[in-house]
Structure 1
Amino acid sequence: MEEKKLLDKKTLTKSYNNWMKYNLVAMSFEFLEALGFALSMEPVADKLYKDEPEKKKEMMQRHTVFYNTEPQAGALVTGIAVGLEEQKALGNTGVTGDLINGLKIGLMGPIAGIGDSMIPGMLIPILLSIGMGLSSNGSPLGVLFYVITYNLIMYFGTRFLFFKGYELGAESIDIFTGEKAQQITRAITVLGMTVIGGVAASYVNVDLKAKVALRGAEIDIQSILDGIFPKLLPLAIIFGSWYLMSKKKVSPVKLILIYFIVAFVGVGIGYLFL
């Protein structure tokens, strides 16, 4: 027997679009992404409780509590919540408002971990490294590649996650919070760090042009460093950046400003080549 549905494709698409366009709207420390989540639930509430304003109000209030996750991967949670709200409206006694909120809160952490590892930790560095390679000769192809590829992956990927979450409903709990999901998260994190290391080794370039005169001969400091450890200076800068940001809490903007000043002065006086 085919499972009864109250939501049509148009309503689901509108809910998905609202989440992807407005997930970070009206953020505050009290709500973070809650209001964006509630906005994504609005077309669903309109469809499920068209003639029951009190139930619609109850549903919307349920989705204005604190919520925060990685927005793109979080499309999965939005889809799950939509599916559960439909089951609740159909009279499924096992699906309550507390269950829906509890599932949202329980999933937002693991999904954020997976999303942060996969997107800024792996996908973006890979696409940027390819784009930088394509634009190394000044071609705009790298920029076009990054913008088009990233947006295509995000659109089709998040749309798939939303509708898959809608189909799964409560079944998603075991899939995305179990031991297998944690193993995937750890593997993706390692892969992301490997990619970042490869990008750093390929594109961070610092050479010392200073030479030391000793008994009538010039000693090339950079040649000595390369003989000991090739790319030692870029490695030192990467670890130095990590130390300043993670241990000394120096903001990335301040760090960029410091490096800009050092590079400007160093190149200007002929001691550095970048």
Structure 2
Amino acid sequence: MNSSDVLLRDLTDDGVLRLTLNDVGRRNALSEAMLKELSRAVATAASDPIIRVVVLAANGPAFCAGHDLKELTAGRAAGDRGRAYFAKIMDQCSCVMKAIVTCPKPVIAEVGGVATAAGCQLVASCDLAVATESARFSTPGVHIGLFCSTPMVALSRNVAAKHAMEMLLTGEMISASRAAEIGLINRAVAADELQEATMTLARKIASKSSSTLAIGKSAFYAQREMALSEAYDFASKVMVNNMLTKDAEEGIGAFVEKREPTWKDG
């Protein structure tokens, strides 16, 4: 399989980019090749004005099994026992997760199978997630002596501390219904409804002003790390600047005039 084949790309007429993990034999692991292709695809989505929403899906029974442990084990052959290689892979993975969060386009995970370790991190890094009722999630590093420290970053920013710690300390699988209860995913649906449910959500978001979505997504993640007073000061400034955009002027005018807005994405 060529490195580019591990990630399939499909752009719909309404601006939804579907990225499909396609390394089924390795359970869509975040190999060097997969991380490289994901990095390229997210960067392209961020800068391409035609792309309005990104959906991250997967072929096969596993959404993503996390890091490729065979690749990591092979790295131990180096004189430093793999330290430099491990640092490189963890940095590449962290950069992909951060790129998803900072991408100005909303990113939706479409989870049709098991998502474990860094695969669970990938789901948690997306802005929204829809899963099948049979999907399962875990951060199982403790089973093999490797605490899921980097998945912990994304997980702890999605679910309450005690729920995150339970997943991290036990390594046990949780169901899709439980994942929805604790906020790891938005909803669980029947397997034959997964793509339709995800694409309905994606198209609903894609119909909005892309510049407004970019402003809102960036502000959401920025204010979340601030103290309450600082967050309100920051959000008030964002709101003022947003009010001065062409799309806010158009949207408010359309509401007052009882017509559909025509977005200029600016």
TM range (shorter): under 0.3
**Which structure's CA Rg is the greater one?**
1
TM-score, normalised by the number of residues in structure 1: 0.24
TM-score, normalised by the number of residues in structure 2: 0.24
